[in-house]
Amino acid sequence: MNEESIKNTIFQLLKRIAPEHDPSTLMPDENIREALNIDSFDALQFIVAISEKLNVDIPEEDYGKTATLKSLMAYLQQKMKS
Amino acid sequence: MISFKMPSLGADMEDGTLVEWRKQPGDLLKRGDIIADVDTQKGLIEIEFFGEGILEKHLVAEGEKIPVGTVMALIRGESDEITEEIPQENIPDQEKMVEPAKVEEGKIKVPVASPQKAGGERVRISPLAKKIAEAHQLDISKISGTGPDGAIVKADIDKCLREGQEKKAKAKTDPIVTEPRYEPESKLAIPESEAIRKAVAAAMSRSNQDIPHYYLEKRIDFSKAMLWLKEANKERSVQQRLLPVALMIKAVAKALDDVPDLNAVWEDGLERKNEINIGFVVSLRTGGIMLPAILNADTLSVDGIMERLNDLIPRARAFKLRSSELSKSTFTITSIGEGGADKVYGVIYPPQVGIVGFGEIRDEAIVAEGMIGIKPVVDVTLAADHRATDGLIGSKFLASLNKYLQNPENL
């Protein structure tokens, strides 16, 4: 899966959680949860959805690496390679 | 006869519009069956029935807007089977935070149906028993009745079913004609954010006008709870992971068990509730809040509470809750979650007598055993009704809550 399709998957899932926002306007270093107003429950739902969709295991101690678009992309790419 | 009334789904609800009857006259109703869909300020709500009986008659037509407490249907219950008294129309116009359906004391004489026994002998059976027997394809001529004059009553049918005699008694012919199951359509009325806003405004204004709130707060060391959660989540798949709030809800339920005066309602006096049903504030993305209840939270495990949250929160946000989930809460929790305010002082949801607020879990310097350390803490507040309890009770509650959160493995 290339970078573009990972990004599209992320946007799709974010759109489902926060339909009134356009995730493509997110800045790479912006905190996703703050920008899209996502609470703890929806944040967990997002992690569940992304790990199911991309078939990666995201342990709880790695949640910090999923905070911004840039860090999340890097984390997922590295996870999917290994 | 049971009068099935438009339930109150909270202090802020005045009326609702019947959208669809899910049960028809003649249908057998079991505990927890969904009888109707009602459009309210809180969305299209599935109204449940908490008794047993046969739906006798609809009294309200689909599309009608009716006030809370209006009798919507008559249901023939077990107590109506073979009695002498005349029904008494005694229907209060307001029914407050109680079960959606209330059984009236008045009884009615109901004719006892008399199908022929095989040998020409008549079988006396009550209508409810007959309906249940039909649903289970029982041959009633093979059941002996224990009611008046040997009539078969519901207890006899229950006994027959319990003992597995249905196999023996099962009629050989007549396959069950199952009714098509109702499929919810997508005509769901999503209440406009303005309606939700109005509902919140009404409930909160009433609270502020009627309830003399007192406030207490306690900073709780959350390090043991966080450690426990971390370990617990290592063993769980991502779908089963726990959020801190699940632990908080369980601890609150146990603390309420210790301090039952807070698990109560105030209706011209303190009325303690037997069940501990925790209302949980869910904020809506479009503004406003919903308060679905986790029923019997004290009897659920932390995993069980998390499961309920996983079910309730998305349904609350989609305005698809059931009447019991909106009407039965006995206490409320509001939790700020990550990245928010340090403390939250709640406004009590009437007629409840307390609300507990959890601020953001954050690291703070705290003193423990003569040492200063940095630990995760959570500031917990209690707003309680001073008519119902005093500060001492509230203080006991927070101390008890603290005790449980220091021993998360026992929750």
- B270-304: per-residue pLDDT in tens? 999 999 999 999 998 888 899 999 999 999 999 99
Helix (H) / strand (E) containing B216:
strand B213-221
Identify the band that residue B80 occupies on the pLDDT scale cut at 50, 70 and 90: low
Most confident range, picked from B6-20, B177-191, B279-293, B374-388: B374-388
Contacts of A57 in chain B (CB under 8 A): 238
Task: Give the per-residue pLDDT at B189.
Answer: 58
The confidence band for B86, taking pLDDT boundaries of 50, 70 and 90, is: very low
CATH code reported for the domain at B2-102: 2.40.50.100
User: Mean of the pLDDT values across residues B172-185?
Assistant: 42
Confidence (pLDDT) at B104: 42
Q: Say whether A39 and B283 touch across the interface (CB within 8 A).
A: yes
pLDDT given at position B406: 97
Question: What pLDDT score was predicted for residue B113?
Answer: 47
Residues of chain A whose beta carbon is less than 8 angstroms from a beta carbon of chain B are 18-20, 33-34, 37, 39-41, 43-45, 47-48, 51-52, 57-61
Once rounded to an integer, what is the mean pLDDT over residues B209-213?
A: 97
What percentage of chain B carries pLDDT values higher than 70? Answer: 82
The least confident of B32-41, B160-169, B276-285, B319-328 is B160-169
Domain residue ranges of chain B, discontinuous segments joined by +: 2-102, 111-186, 193-410
Closest among B97, B111, B346 to B216, alpha carbons compared: B346
Residue contact B238–A18, C-beta within 8 A: no
CATH code, B111-186: 4.10.320.10
pLDDT level of residue B122 (50, 70, 90 thresholds): low
Q: How far is A47 from chain B (nearest CA, A)?
A: 8
**More confident position, A52 or B285:** A52
Class of domain B193-410: alpha beta
All domains in chain A, ordered by first residue: 3-81 (1.10.1200.10)
SS3 B258: helix
Q: Where is mean pLDDT largest: B5-14, B96-105, B272-281?
A: B272-281
Instruction: Find the residue in A nearest to B233 (Cα).
Output: A60
Instruction: Give yes or no on whether B111-186 and B193-410 have one common fold.
Output: no
Three-state SS for B361?
Answer: coil
